[in-house]
Amino acid sequence: MMDEEHPARVEGIDDLASRSWSLERLTWPEVGRSLARDPRLILPVGALVQHGPHLPLGTNTFITEAVARAISRELGILRAPTFHFGVRGPERESFAGAAGVQRKTLHRALNELLAEWEDHGVQEFILLTAHQLEAHIEALLMALTSSASTTVVNLYSIQVGDILEGSPLGEHGGELETSLMLFLAQDLVHLDHVADVIPDPRTLRKYARGRVATPPPGTRGTLGVPSRATREKGAAVFSRYIKALKEILKDGVGTS
């Protein structure tokens, strides 16, 4: 899923499947022509946070980027480089390498980026994320533009409970994320370090809202039952994400 895209083409812009939709790979005239055809821009927003001893710190980013790449290619929508740092919750434990920004910092950065792209002709921004901390989602929802519309999609709000054995609500590095990473980047999943952690329901609810240390002390960064994860579940969840996004974005600018 993480293979390189085909080089951009100057001609044949209607050949959607065979060209790049990444701003990093396009010249500015190519970007201008693409925006004239479809004035939307996908901005993936990741996070660098702990997901237990079995998943990489960039799990949220891997998932968001893979979905953004797939949906931009299928629908022919330009995709911006990923903003790798999300809002990080309050913590009492230290996890080496994990880092984030404050809500106001992410909000300001998004406002500045969106303002520049809006000046270039973007009429709708699709802010895509797989990091469900409440303050992080709020920063995305508060992003301001002059006239362009914004569509914020938290992938974890898409219903996938029927695919999994347990509820994905409030998990962190559990069945859902471990399954997705087995599908997207299996070589980065350390199955020999998987440990199931199921806190009491009250603690779990507080954690899901970002109102207690993230994750609760003693969990080593895991909440949920990652031992239930399979690559097949990850593939099914990923397919569900793409189907849901295609439905959200099918009607074009300003209709979602």
DSSP state for residue 105 in the 8-state scheme:
H
Q: With 80 as the cut, is the pLDDT of residue 45 above it?
A: yes
In the predicted model, what is the mean pLDDT of residues 169-185? Answer: 92
Q: With 50 as the cut, is the pLDDT of residue 68 above it?
A: yes
Check residue 215 and give its pLDDT.
64
What's the token pair of residue 78?
Answer: 């330009």
Q: Give the pLDDT band of residue 167 (cuts 50, 70, 90).
A: confident
CA distances from 18 to 41, 63, 77, 223, 242 (A): 18, 22, 13, 40, 19
Task: Please give the backbone phi and psi of residue 22, each rounded to the nearest 5 degrees, phi first.
Answer: -90, 125
Q: Give the pLDDT band of residue 20 (cuts 50, 70, 90).
A: confident
Strand ranges in 75-217 using DSSP code E only, listed in sequence order: 78-79, 124-129, 149-154
Check residue 209 and give its pLDDT.
61
Helix, strand, or coil (residue 112): helix
Q: Give the pLDDT band of residue 88 (cuts 50, 70, 90).
A: confident
Helix, strand, or coil (residue 228): helix
Can you tell me the distance from the alpha carbon of 87 to that of 139, in angstroms, rounded to the nearest whole number? 8
Strand ranges in 130-255 using DSSP code E only, listed in sequence order: 149-154
Q: With 60 as the cut, is the pLDDT of residue 191 above it?
A: yes
Q: Give the pLDDT band of residue 16 (cuts 50, 70, 90).
A: low
The boundaries of the domain holding residue 211 are 16-246
Check residue 256 and give its pLDDT.
38
What is the total residue count of the chain? 256
Q: What is the pLDDT of residues 222-241, one digit of tens each?
A: 888 999 999 999 999 999 99
Tell whether 219 is covered by a domain: yes
Q: Give the pLDDT band of residue 171 (cuts 50, 70, 90).
A: confident
Identify whether the C-beta of residue 240 lies closer than 8 Å to the C-beta of residue 163: yes
Tell whether 256 is covered by a domain: no
Q: Could you tell me the CATH number of the domain that includes residue 69? A: 3.40.50.10310
What's the token pair of residue 76?
Answer: 């022919």
Tell whether 6 is covered by a domain: no
Tell whether 62 is covered by a domain: yes
In the predicted model, what is the mean pLDDT of residues 150-158? Answer: 96
Check residue 61 and give its pLDDT.
97
Check residue 8 and give its pLDDT.
40
Tell whether 4 is covered by a domain: no
Q: Report the domain count for the chain.
A: 1
Q: With 60 as the cut, is the pLDDT of residue 12 above it?
A: no
Tell whether 252 is covered by a domain: no
In the predicted model, what is the mean pLDDT of residues 34-59? Answer: 95
What's the token pair of residue 99?
Answer: 């880092």
Identify whether the C-beta of residue 73 lies closer than 8 Å to the C-beta of residue 79: no
Tell whether 48 is covered by a domain: yes
Can you tell me the distance from the alpha carbon of 68 to that of 42, in angstroms, rounded to the nearest whole number? 7
CA distances from 204 to 10, 114, 179 (A): 51, 35, 20
In the predicted model, what is the mean pLDDT of residues 214-224? Answer: 72
Tell whether 198 is covered by a domain: yes
